Structure 1
Amino acid sequence: MNAYIQLTLSQLRFFVRNRQVLIFTLFMPLFFMIMLGSFLGKGNDITLDGVVIDQDQSAASRVMVEALQSNAILKLKPSEDVDKSLEQLKHGDQKLVIIVPKNYGEAVGAKGADSTKASFLQVYYDQTNQQSAQIGLQTVNQVADGVSKLLSNYMPIVRVEPIGVQALQLRYIDFLVPGILAMMIMSNNLNGVSGQIASWRERSVLRRMQSTPLKASTFIAAQITARLVMNTAQALIVLLVGSLIFGTQVNGSWALLLLFIVVGTLTFMSIGFIIAGVAKTPESAGPIAGLISFPLMFLGGVFFPVSSMPAFLQPIVKSIPITQLSTAIRQVMNVGAGFGELWQEGLMLAIWLVVSFIVATFTFKWE
């Protein structure tokens, strides 16, 4: 127990005294957060992503859906689940939910001769974001008016029924802070562990440790504890800075947030041990870690939402650990989601942790 405590304290002192470690593990993430938050974080995102639901499935409704989807401003994806789409709207994941109701085709045909009557499109919008709502409603009205003119020789038979939904008032900084937190956990452990272990192996530090009564389990436990303490402290600093400067907050459970920080730390530590085992020198460990972490930083939903990426890439991106970690932290902080909503992210991270730990046990070398 004494060796475990001494090793843990020694590792923590190394973190504190090493200025390069502090700069790249704490100050760089804070710099990214403050700079991007200052330029982009105070405004609302007005990208008009949305969902269109065709409940009628008639020739007339398909014409309307095609017209909506072909509009350059609207980025509408087809769906069949009304409840799920409205839930996404409330959480800020969508800006519009447009429903073409049942019997739309019959209504268009029956009311085409009477300009005082119309077939309604139900457009659900976020009433807390008036800028997006106005642009969205005006755009949908223009599309509906164009379809009406084509159907009835310039007689308006299709009208829009706007329905406001109270959604979360999220800014870009609310999206950014959880992503920065996930990026910091990844960088600290994946890059930090691989470089440090490879350096200790080259300087025969690990070989000398192996020749002492020190157990490998004690050494690894001390490494894990020190990095968990350091990651938790740095996470609290990031959250504090975000709260004081930009007014961000944690709407969900602090215990659940801490759980994902712990699981994320262990996962990326395991991957770092794999890199340290594969790399022959500290000079090669850095590029290997960078080759992995740099793309993940931009693909893992840190700075940009995964939904904005190409459709063919999204299934791959959603399977990597940084995406699961950033999504879970973001849902806990912004939406207040519980473990019941985030069990899939937790399961994926756990699978990554177990698999990478098993691989690390085979690749780790003392010398």
Structure 2
Amino acid sequence: MKAYWQLTLAQLRIFARNPQVLFFTLLFPIILMLALGSFLGNSGGTSIYMAVVDHDGSTASKQLLSTLSENDAIQLDKSSDVNEALDELKNNEYQVVMEIPEGYGDQLQSHTDESKAFDLPVYYNETDASASQLGLTVVESAVDQVSKNIENYSPVVAVQPEGVRALDLGYIDFLVPGIVAMMIMNNNMNGVAGQISAWRERGILRRMQGTRLKASTFIAAQITARVILNGLQALLVLMVASLLFQVQVNGSWLALLTFVVLGTLAFMAIGFIIAGLAKNPESAGPIAAFASFPMLFLGGVFFSINTMPEYLQPIVHILPISHLSTALRETMNVGTPFFDLWTHWLTLAAWLVGAFIIASRTFKWE
């Protein structure tokens, strides 16, 4: 146990005494977050994915759909089941769902100045706040045009918006969990691969093997030091995001910490595999970069994985970083309970076990 704590403290001192390590592990993610958050802030995409459930099927409802489809910012889909459309809304496939009830056309034909405006249910996904608000604006403009087309204009149709997830989120809320996931990947997969390869080339691992030090103690100390480092860095990123951008953690801090630890272990295991395959530190870096670079764009760090092309979806849903970023985002933004995210922590655990089995076979002291 004494050797374990000494190795853990030694690893933390190595981090603290290397200015480059401190910069890239602590300051770089914060600088990246500040840059993207300042430029993009709460902005979102310009394409609105919208589903319409037309129960009326009248000429008036078709004219409303035609008005909506003329807007280039809207990707309009027709659905026959409102519950199915709402399920897809909750899964972030749509930002807005509009329901046209029966009697819509008759109400417009019989409307008088004394008539009450027809309520048109419109559901929006507040997890994607900017796109949803833009969608509501477009819908309100379209139904207002319907009213203006009636002689002696008075409100004929009134939008009744209903939030499916009562959250006030912007792009920065989407970005911060992705930054934390990127940090965990870089610190552990790239960091472990480079450090272990360098220690092997300098003979440090060989000298450790010649002592009574057990491999399990060495690995446990590495894990502990990196879990502490990642936990402190995640806390620092969240503090800066909270102070400057008012980003909040809506879910359980314990669940958030659990995913940080799971992500750390999974990417450490992958880093040990790369260190075992690399012949020297010079080759470890490019191998780690070759593995990590695609994950930055396919793992939901900066962009939603739902917007990825269909042919990439099977690959995206296998990557560990996509599950880590999604789990962190669901925990922070939506407050989803830990056990409801079982697919994500189970996938990360599978990567952890599988990668450590492979790492145990590829790891070399010399």
TM-score interval, smaller chain? 0.7 to 0.9
CA distance in 1, matches of 2:108, 2:327: 53
The 1:113–1:138 alpha-carbon spacing in structure 2 relative to 1, beyond 3 Å, is closer
Residue correspondence of structure 1 range 106-185 to structure 2 within 5 A: 111=106, 114=109, 116=111, 122-125=121-124, 132-138=134-140, 140-141=142-143, 162-166=159-163, 167-185=166-184
Once the two structures are overlaid, the 10-residue window that deviates more, 118-127 or 321-330, is 118-127
Q: CA deviation at 1:277?
A: 0.9
For residue 289 of structure 2, what is the aligned residue in structure 1?
A: 290
Say yes or no: does 1:193 pair with 2:195: no
CA distance in 1, matches of 2:359, 2:277: 9
The 1:220–1:139 alpha-carbon spacing in structure 2 relative to 1, beyond 3 Å, is same
CA distance in 1, matches of 2:55, 2:7: 67
State the AA in 2 paired with 1:15.
F
Give deviations 1:116-157, integer Å, cap 9, x for gaps.
499986432469869525532146549x96xxx9xxxxxxxx
Extract unaligned runs of 5+ from structure 2.
150-155
Residue correspondence of structure 1 range 91-110 to structure 2 within 5 A: 94-101=94-101
The alignment's TM-score, normalised by the length of structure 1, stands at 0.83
CA distance in 1, matches of 2:157, 2:284: 59
For residue 152 of structure 2, what is the aligned residue in structure 1?
A: none
Q: Are the aligned partners of 1:126 and 1:133 in contact in 2 as well (CA < 8 Å)?
A: no
State the AA in 2 paired with 1:72.
D
Extract unaligned runs of 5+ from structure 1.
150-158
CA distance in 2, matches of 1:339, 1:330: 12
Q: CA deviation at 1:289?
A: 0.5
CA distance in 1, matches of 2:80, 2:11: 53
The 1:125–1:5 alpha-carbon spacing in structure 2 relative to 1, beyond 3 Å, is closer
What is the DSSP-based 3-state SS (H/G/I as helix, E as strand, rest coil) of the residue aligned with 1:177?
helix
The 1:249–1:119 alpha-carbon spacing in structure 2 relative to 1, beyond 3 Å, is closer
Once the two structures are overlaid, the 10-residue window that deviates more, 318-327 or 192-201, is 318-327
CA distance in 2, matches of 1:78, 1:275: 48
The 1:22–1:161 alpha-carbon spacing in structure 2 relative to 1, beyond 3 Å, is same
Once the two structures are overlaid, the 10-residue window that deviates more, 266-275 or 303-312, is 303-312
CA distance in 1, matches of 2:81, 2:22: 47
Q: Are the aligned partners of 1:89 and 1:97 in contact in 2 as well (CA < 8 Å)?
A: yes
Q: CA deviation at 1:242?
A: 0.9
The 1:62–1:348 alpha-carbon spacing in structure 2 relative to 1, beyond 3 Å, is farther
Once the two structures are overlaid, the 10-residue window that deviates more, 133-142 or 277-286, is 133-142
State the AA in 1 paired with 2:159.
P
CA distance in 1, matches of 2:197, 2:56: 61
What is the DSSP-based 3-state SS (H/G/I as helix, E as strand, rest coil) of the residue aligned with 1:123?
strand
Q: Are the aligned partners of 2:49 and 2:95 in contact in 1 as well (CA < 8 Å)?
A: yes
Q: Are the aligned partners of 2:55 and 2:99 in contact in 1 as well (CA < 8 Å)?
A: no
For residue 341 of structure 1, what is the aligned residue in structure 2?
A: 340
CA distance in 1, matches of 2:334, 2:178: 15
Q: Are the aligned partners of 2:92 and 2:306 in contact in 1 as well (CA < 8 Å)?
A: no
For residue 322 of structure 1, what is the aligned residue in structure 2?
A: 321
For residue 263 of structure 1, what is the aligned residue in structure 2?
A: 262
Say yes or no: does 1:4 pair with 2:4: yes
Say yes or no: does 1:35 pair with 2:32: no
What is the DSSP-based 3-state SS (H/G/I as helix, E as strand, rest coil) of the residue aligned with 1:9?
helix
RMSD of aligned Cα (Å): 3.5
Q: Are the aligned partners of 1:190 and 1:289 in contact in 2 as well (CA < 8 Å)?
A: yes
CA distance in 1, matches of 2:364, 2:54: 60
The 1:91–1:34 alpha-carbon spacing in structure 2 relative to 1, beyond 3 Å, is farther
Q: CA deviation at 1:314?
A: 2.7
What is the DSSP-based 3-state SS (H/G/I as helix, E as strand, rest coil) of the residue aligned with 1:277?
helix
Once the two structures are overlaid, the 10-residue window that deviates more, 204-213 or 309-318, is 309-318
Q: Are the aligned partners of 1:90 and 1:165 in contact in 2 as well (CA < 8 Å)?
A: no
What is the DSSP-based 3-state SS (H/G/I as helix, E as strand, rest coil) of the residue aligned with 2:310?
coil
For residue 213 of structure 1, what is the aligned residue in structure 2?
A: 212
CA distance in 2, matches of 1:225, 1:209: 18
The 1:211–1:280 alpha-carbon spacing in structure 2 relative to 1, beyond 3 Å, is same
What is the DSSP-based 3-state SS (H/G/I as helix, E as strand, rest coil) of the residue aligned with 2:311?
coil
Q: Are the aligned partners of 2:201 and 2:280 in contact in 1 as well (CA < 8 Å)?
A: yes
The 1:163–1:195 alpha-carbon spacing in structure 2 relative to 1, beyond 3 Å, is same
Residue correspondence of structure 1 range 61-72 to structure 2 within 5 A: 71-72=71-72
Q: CA deviation at 1:295?
A: 1.5
The 1:275–1:162 alpha-carbon spacing in structure 2 relative to 1, beyond 3 Å, is same
Q: Are the aligned partners of 2:52 and 2:98 in contact in 1 as well (CA < 8 Å)?
A: yes
For residue 153 of structure 1, what is the aligned residue in structure 2?
A: none
CA distance in 2, matches of 1:365, 1:57: 70
Q: CA deviation at 1:83?
A: 4.8
The alignment's TM-score, normalised by the length of structure 2, stands at 0.83
CA distance in 2, matches of 1:95, 1:195: 43
